[in-house]
């Protein structure tokens, strides 16, 4: 096994989760990581993103290797809210928070693991394959940083994203595509007490549509959800307009298209029945991906886990990650668990032993 320095790994993780970096506010973390990567020998490029997206930047970094092979390693630098003033708490093997914020192990545990693995490899003087890093802004809430990543920088044909939970050894090889729908229903206002029959209630239209809609778990590959509803002026006014945001996801592109078409048609049919106007903006957030178990990248990752005495397994996920975007650009990408748990909640935690395991995996993978 490697000479991973657990204390250095944990200290670095603690240091970077204390840097506020909610989505869109990644300048401080990006600057810190760019400097640190330079100090451990990477050539570093700060890749601009639209100012409307973030005050920070995406990072490309490269460390040429002596062994054959090249791999891109990727994590996102942002956290969800509440992520300001994170106070990490260490209790035995567990790192959690004081309870007011998320921890930010999603996804700074991946960043810490990558950087400790490289530090250990260099300290041991071990030859390694060429390492490219793709650190992104604003992954949470839309994978925006990876959508703006300069893919021309990456020379590797394989990429590993470290942005999943579950047991160490979990290899995400299947992930859904997602379609977003923004729906505006325009009815007609009227006085709710004097002449309600003269109005068209936008909420009634929406209710009619939703009652006829297949939602939640559609099948083992497909889900759909109405997530945002905004409307209404006062109780004495028939609701003239309603705004809805909805999504559908599926591991199967045909099923996703069918579910979206079903939701759109139910909205349109309800609007027609009630004489309301409707506007629907439907856009693809990201595409599904599926990588076979016998793929050389998957096999090489499995071999590295096996060498370390960890039993790897492939699994699907219901969530999207930068892996969806990179696969969509033709860069073969899988997503590995870092052991992060209860992410996106104030109960988020990670085991130090799991952080060491994924760092050890990286050491083994990069030096073989």
Using H for helix, E for strand and C for coil, what is the string for the chain? Answer: CCCCCHHHHHHHHHHHHCCCCECCCCHHHHHHHHHHHHHCCCEEEEECCCCCCCCCCEEEEEECCCCCCEEEEEEECCECCCCCCCCEEEECCEEEECCCCCCCHHHHHHHHHHHHHHHHHHHHCCCCCEEEEEEECCCCCCCHHHHCCCHHHCCCCEEEEEEEECCCCEEEEEECEEEEEEEEEECECCECCCCHHHCECHHHHHHHHHHCCCCEEEECCEEEEEEEEEECCCCCECCCEEEEEEEEEECCHHHHHHHHHHHHHHHHHHHHHHCCEEEEEEEEEECCEECCCCCHHHHHHHHHHHHCCCCCEEEECCCCCHHHHHHHCCCEEEEEEEEEECCCCCCCEEEHHHHHHHHHHHHHHHCC
Q: Which two tokens stand for residue 47?
A: 């890749």
Identified catalytic residue from 78, 132, 140, 241? 78
Distance CA 41, CA 154 (A): 18
277 given a catalytic annotation? no
Q: Which two tokens stand for residue 361?
A: 């995996």
Check: CB of residue 167 under 8 Å from CB of residue 337.
yes
Identified catalytic residue from 107, 139, 208, 241? 139
Check: CB of residue 238 under 8 Å from CB of residue 230.
no
Residues 6+ apart with CB under 8 A from 99: 346, 347
User: 262 vs 2, 209, 271, 307, CA distance in Å?
Assistant: 53, 10, 14, 48
253 given a catalytic annotation? no
What amino acid positions are annotated as catalytic residues?
A: 78, 139
């Amino acid at each position: 096994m490697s000479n991973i320095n657990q204390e250095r790994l944990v200290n670095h993780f603690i240091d970077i989760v204390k840097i506020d970096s909610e989505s869109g506010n990644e300048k401080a973390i990006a600057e810190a990581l760019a400097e640190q990567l330079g100090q451990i020998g990477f050539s570093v490029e700060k890749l601009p993103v639209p100012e409307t997206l973030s005050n920070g930047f995406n990072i490309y970094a490269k460390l040429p290797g002596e062994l054959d092979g090249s791999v891109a390693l990727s994590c996102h630098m942002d956290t969800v809210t509440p992520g300001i003033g994170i106070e990490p708490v260490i209790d035995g093997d567990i790192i959690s928070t004081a309870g007011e914020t998320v921890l930010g192990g999603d996804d700074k545990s991946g960043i810490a693991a990558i950087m400790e693995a490289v530090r250990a490899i260099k300290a041991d003087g071990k030859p390694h394959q060429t390492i490219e890093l793709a650190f992104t802004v604003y992954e949470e809430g839309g994978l925006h940083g990876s959508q703006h990543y300069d893919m021309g920088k990456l020379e590797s044909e394989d990429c590993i994203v470290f942005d999943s939970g579950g047991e160490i050894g979990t290899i995400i090889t299947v992930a859904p595509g997602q379609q977003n729908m923004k729906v505006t229903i325009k009815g007609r206002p009227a006085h709710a007490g004097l002449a309600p029959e003269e109005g068209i209630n936008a909420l009634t239209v929406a209710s009619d549509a939703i009652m006829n809609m297949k939602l939640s778990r559609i099948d083992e590959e497909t889900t759909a959800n109405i997530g945002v509803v905004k409307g209404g002026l006062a109780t004495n006014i028939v609701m003239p307009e309603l705004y809805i945001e909805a999504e559908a996801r599926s591991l199967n592109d045909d099923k996703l298209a069918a579910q979206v078409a079903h939701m759109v048609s139910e909205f349109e049919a309800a609007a027609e029945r009630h004489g309301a106007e409707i506007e629907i903006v439907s856009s693809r957030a990201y595409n599904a991906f599926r990588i076979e178990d016998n793929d050389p990248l998957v096999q090489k990752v499995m071999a590295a886990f096996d060498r370390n005495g960890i039993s790897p397994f492939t699994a699907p996920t219901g969530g999207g990650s930068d892996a969806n975007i990179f696969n969509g650009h033709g860069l073969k990408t899988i997503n590995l668990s870092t052991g992060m748990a209860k992410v996106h909640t104030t109960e988020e935690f990670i085991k130090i032993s799991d952080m060491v395991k994924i760092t050890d995996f990286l050491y083994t993978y990069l030096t073989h």
